[in-house]
Chains A and B, each alone.
Chain A
């Protein structure tokens, strides 16, 4: 007669008495992984729900119309007739301009939004003093971001000059739906009534502006259906239509992508935890073999034995996962604070039961699958083991065990399944799983190699303690594999994150440092150019460069029209490269931010009259499917210019210097209407402010940017990003600790016993310490170094292929992490050594 399950459960509970806490410690390896998954999934769900709830608010209406070239008369009349029919609309025109405050006299670049009454139809604009948004259209008023007040040293009631118009500051805007918080840092906004837009004199032909309109539809209207019949008419006017649903999808997609990236980190955390669980449970099993042998002597079947311990493991796994879920919920409440500035919505945090359950489920599953492999050994423990322990026979039986092989398969399948579940596409998931297996395989090989190497190189001439410590690495039941794996994987993870971070951030620094000049004027008109240059030099500063900019459109090539060209090279006629406005320059030399990729620079070739040379940037060359020698036509504000592509360039876009897709030979654009970007080197901050003020006074349409301000802005963004990344890295590092403890647990007790025995044989504290130090230092060194090498590979791949940038190895942080990991391993070793000396030999030896 077999015992009922409930009896087994009771036995399992009683038998776990001494080991419960230890088992729980091993299972805590998965906690942080579960926490990450729960936090990320909940957060993504919350953001998505918030987007859904606020989507109309985000857009300010039910329908968004965007006209690149401004609304045509036909479009305007369409909007008018819709309004009469009960579908009101409001317009927003956005452009950049200098704003100068009185009485302070300070100036700065702002994002001007000219809005018509009614905007936004949904959501509330909060102001300080409160309620002022509604008064905007009552006069020449302006509402500004708080940073404008600070930057200009102005206050409510002061006046603000924008272009040729002057406005009174009515209030500061504390919250406006639809823009992420960081927007006000990048380009502080000022809102003016659209009726005074013309007065500013800034919306001339060729000026860069965005024209949008939002429509409000009656409650309950099915927008896509309503808009369908109007679509052709609207799109004919070069207007792009976005419904709330489409906008929602855009935003959700972006959030999904972020969540996916983060949850891959969480997944790795979980897998690392799984490795911790496996090695911890392995240690647990080693201790239980004697008990199991006795249970078997007393008549327990191998299935009963397995059940008893599986129940223990699953129970503790559940507790570990539950602790993780609780932590994850906590983190989830903090995430909006950390990421909120980058999000367009105000995230309402609430518990997401599906995310919590999923995290718990995945956590328990990983815990059980990873625990099962070592637990299966217990099935093979024969009662004979009670008489004499035979580890070799056990290991042998494991290799042939079909259940073990099935578990191995389940493990691999779990990793692949989880990866696919978390990745965007199946192939990405598979790629990720392969990456994980390759990393684990590499670490495993490194560990095995180390064990072999130590067997070879240990020489009898070495001091005994060193020999003994190193020899521990290849002795039976050595911990080499599990520690190297845990350490290596941990440092791999942390180092990858840090390397990617430093690489991405380094780019920003490089950029800011490299730029010549510190004050950039743009939108300088042809007739203002020399006046501005004179103003700069009269004030005692230097004009670093004046770059002409000519706007134009692509007009086909090799005698074909744009449409024919598109058809010939096989690209859609709507392609952005064909339709966009090109802001090109002309000059006769190549500049330091450019590298010639193919062909020759201007002037090497004899061309027929009326045909000139052009140099194209690499990406746009590919996009247009143009090749060297093609003759391209350009529509330069009504005049067609023909050019031969004589070279292609690589451009470093990361700098604050004007860069161009197409650079023309000077002759070709002589006489074409141009604007200029003037860069000046100005010594002091006060001189910058003074020069900006004077320039705006003389040329209200000319905008200027103080690069040191830009640098400050970038630093601000970078430090926010850095904070997030640091958190991730710290998180991963914290994750490594329980895993490492589990990894050494298997042999910690053996080392303790051995240490005590050595002590009875006369070994001193220093000797035992040195033995353990040698062992753990080598383990730590190998683990952290192989992890670092893997990380360099991983980070290189990410930086090169995902972020499309050049990788440079940040040796210092990488070595720092390796050192930290080594220190961690060594301290665990030394902790064991301390325990050896805490106990009297008798107590330990009596344990048998």
Chain B
């Protein structure tokens, strides 16, 4: 489903290039629930951005369903995202001039779907915001904005969902609700979920945990969630990955 091949990202600060990610490789099969963990500044957000095609790596490749994202132009990547990728940002990234419902509608509208309004209301009700449809982001709390962002990420029924610290701003109960939502998406529609988190509880919820430090993968192991039913790091060329390719 998703393959990272010797991903390297360097930033040029002054004269010397600063490597934020170095030769990161792994393979995520269809339907997996993967957590990326690591200390602050280790490159988690950067990696997620590369995987979702929001940024271009300095070297290496990202293969989504066998298609090399790094070879597509901005437009083609955008189209691809619209079709199969959902993304939840660390800092929500709602459009401030649109209401909650309008924000959720956007990906649907871009696809030209006629039932956008209905679907958006439905999604917002599911994340518990059925009564805040017409509120602007500035009128919502951090946690509420995060839930709008999640509803938006779900809107186009993505085959793969990326979430950067989806529970970072939330209290325990709300966080648990969101984890449940992610789980539901993963279980019911078989979507692949890749999350970045500091939350050890959430990380352990995953089937697989990838740990970064200073831009390098230092650990790649199965998590507790459904251990044994999903392939681990060692069988990157396992049957599920092969089937999706």
A interface with B by C-beta (< 8 Å): 388-392, 460, 463-464, 467-468, 472, 475-478, 750, 754, 757-767, 837, 840-843, 845, 848
Question: In the bound complex, do residue B109 and residue A764 qualify as a contact, i.e. CB atoms below 8 Å apart?
Answer: no
Question: In the bound complex, do residue B112 and residue A764 qualify as a contact, i.e. CB atoms below 8 Å apart?
Answer: no
Q: Judge whether B40 is part of the interface by a CB distance below 8 angstroms.
A: no
Question: In the bound complex, do residue B93 and residue A757 qualify as a contact, i.e. CB atoms below 8 Å apart?
Answer: yes
Q: Judge whether B220 is part of the interface by a CB distance below 8 angstroms.
A: no
7 cross-chain pairs, A with B, having the tightest CB-CB distances, nearest first: A762-B82, A464-B109, A842-B55, A475-B97, A841-B54, A842-B49, A761-B107
Question: In the bound complex, do residue A757 and residue B95 qualify as a contact, i.e. CB atoms below 8 Å apart?
Answer: yes
Give the distance in Å from the alpha carbon of A757 to the alpha carbon of B116 in the complex. Answer: 18
Interface 0/1 of B55-95, CB less than 8 Å to A = 11000000000000000001100111111010101010101
Question: In the bound complex, do residue A767 and residue B49 qualify as a contact, i.e. CB atoms below 8 Å apart?
Answer: no
Question: In the bound complex, do residue A837 and residue B54 qualify as a contact, i.e. CB atoms below 8 Å apart?
Answer: no
Q: Judge whether B125 is part of the interface by a CB distance below 8 angstroms.
A: no
Q: Contacts of A765 on B, CB cut-off 8 Å?
A: 74-75, 78
Least Cβ distance of A120 to chain B in Å?
Answer: 74
Q: Judge whether B168 is part of the interface by a CB distance below 8 angstroms.
A: no
Give the distance in Å from the alpha carbon of A467 to the alpha carbon of B116 in the complex. Answer: 13
Question: In the bound complex, do residue A762 and residue B81 qualify as a contact, i.e. CB atoms below 8 Å apart?
Answer: yes
Q: Judge whether B178 is part of the interface by a CB distance below 8 angstroms.
A: no
* Known contacts A388-B138, A842-B55: A472-B97 contact under CB 8 Å: yes
Question: In the bound complex, do residue B109 and residue A468 qualify as a contact, i.e. CB atoms below 8 Å apart?
Answer: yes
* Known contacts A389-B138, A840-B55: A759-B89 contact under CB 8 Å: no
Give the distance in Å from the alpha carbon of A388 to the alpha carbon of B83 in the complex. Answer: 33
What would be 20 A-B contacts, judged by CB atoms less than 8 Å apart? A388-B138, A464-B109, A467-B109, A472-B97, A476-B136, A758-B95, A759-B78, A759-B81, A760-B52, A760-B93, A761-B87, A762-B81, A762-B110, A764-B79, A765-B75, A767-B110, A840-B54, A841-B49, A842-B49, A848-B91
Give the distance in Å from the alpha carbon of A326 to the alpha carbon of B120 in the complex. Answer: 58
Q: Contacts of B110 on A, CB cut-off 8 Å?
A: 464, 758, 761-763, 767
Residue from A750, A761, A764 with most neighbouring chain B CB atoms (10 Å): A761
Interface 0/1 of B163-202, CB less than 8 Å to A = 0000000000000000000000000000000000000000
Question: In the bound complex, do residue B55 and residue A841 qualify as a contact, i.e. CB atoms below 8 Å apart?
Answer: yes
Q: Contacts of B136 on A, CB cut-off 8 Å?
A: 476
Q: Contacts of B56 on A, CB cut-off 8 Å?
A: 840
Question: In the bound complex, do residue A750 and residue B97 qualify as a contact, i.e. CB atoms below 8 Å apart?
Answer: yes
Residue from B49, B80, B91 with most neighbouring chain A CB atoms (10 Å): B49
Q: Judge whether B98 is part of the interface by a CB distance below 8 angstroms.
A: yes
In addition to A464-B110, A468-B109, A841-B49, 12 A-B residue pairs with Cβ atoms within 8 Å of each other are: A390-B138, A464-B109, A472-B97, A476-B96, A476-B97, A760-B52, A761-B87, A762-B82, A762-B156, A763-B106, A841-B54, A845-B54
Question: In the bound complex, do residue B138 and residue A391 qualify as a contact, i.e. CB atoms below 8 Å apart?
Answer: yes
Give the distance in Å from the alpha carbon of A165 to the alpha carbon of B227 in the complex. Answer: 125
Give the distance in Å from the alpha carbon of A186 to the alpha carbon of B80 in the complex. Answer: 74
B interface with A by C-beta (< 8 Å): 46, 49, 52, 54-56, 74-75, 78-83, 85, 87, 89, 91, 93, 95-98, 106-107, 109-112, 116-117, 136, 138, 152, 156
Question: In the bound complex, do residue B98 and residue A763 qualify as a contact, i.e. CB atoms below 8 Å apart?
Answer: no
Least Cβ distance of A235 to chain B in Å?
Answer: 78
Give the distance in Å from the alpha carbon of A841 to the alpha carbon of B156 in the complex. Answer: 19
Q: Contacts of A472 on B, CB cut-off 8 Å?
A: 97
Q: Contacts of A762 on B, CB cut-off 8 Å?
A: 78-83, 85, 107, 110-111, 156
Give the distance in Å from the alpha carbon of A463 to the alpha carbon of B111 in the complex. Answer: 11
Question: In the bound complex, do residue A754 and residue B95 qualify as a contact, i.e. CB atoms below 8 Å apart?
Answer: yes
Least Cβ distance of B32 to chain A in Å?
Answer: 22
Least Cβ distance of A719 to chain B in Å?
Answer: 51
Least Cβ distance of B31 to chain A in Å?
Answer: 22
Give the distance in Å from the alpha carbon of A767 to the alpha carbon of B75 in the complex. Answer: 10
Least Cβ distance of A608 to chain B in Å?
Answer: 87
Q: Contacts of A757 on B, CB cut-off 8 Å?
A: 93, 95
Give the distance in Å from the alpha carbon of A729 to the alpha carbon of B83 in the complex. Answer: 51
Q: Contacts of B74 on A, CB cut-off 8 Å?
A: 759, 765, 837, 840
Least Cβ distance of B103 to chain A in Å?
Answer: 9
Give the distance in Å from the alpha carbon of A391 to the alpha carbon of B75 in the complex. Answer: 33
* Known contacts A389-B138, A762-B82, A840-B55: A464-B112 contact under CB 8 Å: yes
Tell me the nearest residue of chain B to A836, going by C-beta: B74
Tell me the nearest residue of chain B to A848, going by C-beta: B91
Give the distance in Å from the alpha carbon of A764 to the alpha carbon of B56 in the complex. Answer: 17
Q: Contacts of B55 on A, CB cut-off 8 Å?
A: 840-843
Least Cβ distance of B133 to chain A in Å?
Answer: 15
* Known contacts A763-B82, A765-B74: A842-B97 contact under CB 8 Å: no
Give the distance in Å from the alpha carbon of A198 to the alpha carbon of B110 in the complex. Answer: 94
Give the distance in Å from the alpha carbon of A842 to the alpha carbon of B164 in the complex. Answer: 13
Least Cβ distance of A375 to chain B in Å?
Answer: 22
Q: Contacts of A766 on B, CB cut-off 8 Å?
A: 75
Tell me the nearest residue of chain A to B76, going by C-beta: A764
Tell me the nearest residue of chain A to B9, going by C-beta: A842
Give the distance in Å from the alpha carbon of A818 to the alpha carbon of B52 in the complex. Answer: 44
Least Cβ distance of B184 to chain A in Å?
Answer: 21
Least Cβ distance of B158 to chain A in Å?
Answer: 10
Give the distance in Å from the alpha carbon of A762 to the alpha carbon of B76 in the complex. Answer: 9
Residue from A468, A750, A763 with most neighbouring chain B CB atoms (10 Å): A763
Question: In the bound complex, do residue B87 and residue A760 qualify as a contact, i.e. CB atoms below 8 Å apart?
Answer: yes
Question: In the bound complex, do residue A764 and residue B97 qualify as a contact, i.e. CB atoms below 8 Å apart?
Answer: no
Give the distance in Å from the alpha carbon of A259 to the alpha carbon of B55 in the complex. Answer: 59
Q: Contacts of A761 on B, CB cut-off 8 Å?
A: 81-82, 87, 106-107, 110, 152
Q: Contacts of B106 on A, CB cut-off 8 Å?
A: 758, 761, 763
Q: Contacts of B152 on A, CB cut-off 8 Å?
A: 761
Q: Contacts of B52 on A, CB cut-off 8 Å?
A: 760
Question: In the bound complex, do residue B97 and residue A477 qualify as a contact, i.e. CB atoms below 8 Å apart?
Answer: yes
Tell me the nearest residue of chain B to A476, going by C-beta: B97
Q: Contacts of B81 on A, CB cut-off 8 Å?
A: 759-762
Q: Contacts of B91 on A, CB cut-off 8 Å?
A: 845, 848
Least Cβ distance of A482 to chain B in Å?
Answer: 16
Give the distance in Å from the alpha carbon of A763 to the alpha carbon of B75 in the complex. Answer: 8
Q: Contacts of A460 on B, CB cut-off 8 Å?
A: 117
Tell me the nearest residue of chain A to B136, going by C-beta: A476
Least Cβ distance of A19 to chain B in Å?
Answer: 21
Give the distance in Å from the alpha carbon of A722 to the alpha carbon of B163 in the complex. Answer: 65
Residue from B75, B116, B156 with most neighbouring chain A CB atoms (10 Å): B75
Question: In the bound complex, do residue A845 and residue B109 qualify as a contact, i.e. CB atoms below 8 Å apart?
Answer: no
Q: Contacts of A463 on B, CB cut-off 8 Å?
A: 112
Question: In the bound complex, do residue B138 and residue A845 qualify as a contact, i.e. CB atoms below 8 Å apart?
Answer: no
Give the distance in Å from the alpha carbon of A687 to the alpha carbon of B36 in the complex. Answer: 99
Give the distance in Å from the alpha carbon of A760 to the alpha carbon of B109 in the complex. Answer: 14
Residue from B54, B78, B91, B93 with most neighbouring chain A CB atoms (10 Å): B78
Question: In the bound complex, do residue B95 and residue A764 qualify as a contact, i.e. CB atoms below 8 Å apart?
Answer: no
Least Cβ distance of B19 to chain A in Å?
Answer: 16
Give the distance in Å from the alpha carbon of A460 to the alpha carbon of B54 in the complex. Answer: 30
Q: Contacts of B111 on A, CB cut-off 8 Å?
A: 762
Least Cβ distance of B123 to chain A in Å?
Answer: 14
Q: Contacts of B112 on A, CB cut-off 8 Å?
A: 463-464
Least Cβ distance of A288 to chain B in Å?
Answer: 17
Q: Contacts of B97 on A, CB cut-off 8 Å?
A: 472, 475-478, 750, 754
Q: Contacts of B79 on A, CB cut-off 8 Å?
A: 762, 764
Tell me the nearest residue of chain B to A388, going by C-beta: B138
Tell me the nearest residue of chain B to A838, going by C-beta: B74
Tell me the nearest residue of chain B to A464, going by C-beta: B109
Q: Contacts of B98 on A, CB cut-off 8 Å?
A: 475
Give the distance in Å from the alpha carbon of A464 to the alpha carbon of B106 in the complex. Answer: 9
Q: Contacts of B85 on A, CB cut-off 8 Å?
A: 762
Give the distance in Å from the alpha carbon of A568 to the alpha carbon of B92 in the complex. Answer: 89
Tell me the nearest residue of chain A to B74, going by C-beta: A837
Q: Contacts of A758 on B, CB cut-off 8 Å?
A: 95, 106, 110
Least Cβ distance of B73 to chain A in Å?
Answer: 9
Give the distance in Å from the alpha carbon of A388 to the alpha carbon of B169 in the complex. Answer: 14
Tell me the nearest residue of chain A to B108, going by C-beta: A464
Tell me the nearest residue of chain B to A461, going by C-beta: B114
Q: Contacts of A759 on B, CB cut-off 8 Å?
A: 74, 78, 81
Least Cβ distance of B97 to chain A in Å?
Answer: 4
